[in-house]
Structure 1
Amino acid sequence: MGYQVEKSEEEWREQLSPAEYNVLRQAGTERPFTGEYTDTKTVGVYKCRACGSELFRSDNKFDSHCGWPSFYTPLAEDRVEYIVDKTLGMTRTEVRCGNCGSHLGHVFEGEGYDTPTDQRYCINSISLTLEPAEE
């Protein structure tokens, strides 16, 4: 897929910290309950930490108690891309930034999520930056 933001891996390494690079460019994950946005209630827009694309709104964030920030829908479907992930002996749906291809987390579906979409976008805090709404 051609992204609007395309950089070499060397350019990404220069831009991102080692921890950011591990998650955003190598599909790593941060430990549960350690991310800066896990329990955040601040009103605003969550952006891709790699390219700044607006991805999620705070009014679509909910407490899933899974250890990572959870949203029930992206800002718009073209903001994210879905990839089948068969690592760790299971099939999951990886979520990537639609603008730069950076790994964000995974989306899970099921009636048990008690959200308007029956989905939980489980996103790494380190993949995001929060732009608080103006008061």
Structure 2
Amino acid sequence: MQVDRRTFLLGGAAIAALGAAALVFRPMGASRAAEGTFEVSFTEAEWKAKLDPKVFEVLRHEATEAPGSSPLLYEHRAGIFNCAGCELPLFDSTTKYESGTGWPSFYQPLDNAVGESTDTTLGMSRTEVHCRRCGGHLGHVFNDGPQPTGLRYCMNGLALTFTAA
């Protein structure tokens, strides 16, 4: 069988596209943060029944809400931001700041509140942040935040609830 140049190039492009798609997309339910044993644990069906559909997609399937869409982006009262899945206190409002990214941002979580794992989707390596008690996906942490930590915990507002002081 003889392969012409055009067929060879198209085949190579198709293989490259499939490889790139494998890096970017994972099957639904393939949450790295939700792997393992956590203090608060439910079946997929129980999480789905417990949570709003959009919250479920963020917490359990690592979806990302649209930038600027969360009311918590504009929350400036004193209080605590909690996990929307298990209500674990995660961030004190004193550590919240305006990052200009379109998502609620904090420079430091509360002690023993979050866990981290490596996220290699989108063809890059990022640090994913999840609730240490239920494993729910919260967002990512970056090294471009303000002092005193220099960190930016860029969180999905759908993954959080707020309790005013």
Normalising by structure 2, what TM-score?
0.77
Paired AA for residue 80 in structure 2 = V
Q: Which residue of the partner structure matches residue 130 of structure 1?
A: 162
CA positional deviation for 1:36? 1.2
Q: Which residue pairs with 1:109 in the alignment?
A: 143
What residue is the counterpart of 1:83 in the other structure?
117
Residues 51-107 of structure 1 show CA distances to partners (whole Å, capped at 9, x for unaligned) of: 01000000000111110000000011x210101000001110000000000000000
Q: Deviations over 1:13-38 (max 9, x none)?
A: 00011101110000001000111111
Q: Residue 23 of structure 1 aligns with which residue? A: 58
Question: Aligned-pair distance for 1:115?
Answer: 2.4
| Partner AA of 1:126 in structure 2 | L
Aligned-residue identity in percent: 43
- Between structures 1 and 2, the one with greater strand share: 1
Q: 8 Å contact 2:126–2:140 — kept in the other structure?
A: yes
| Deviation >4 Å, runs of 4+ | none
2:106 is aligned with 1:74: no
Runs of 5+ in structure 1 lacking a partner?
A: none
Cα deviation for residue 114 of structure 1 reads: 2.5
**As a proportion of its length, which structure holds more helix?**
2
TM alignment of 1:2-17, pairs within 5 A:
2-17=37-52
Matched, 1:92 2:152: no
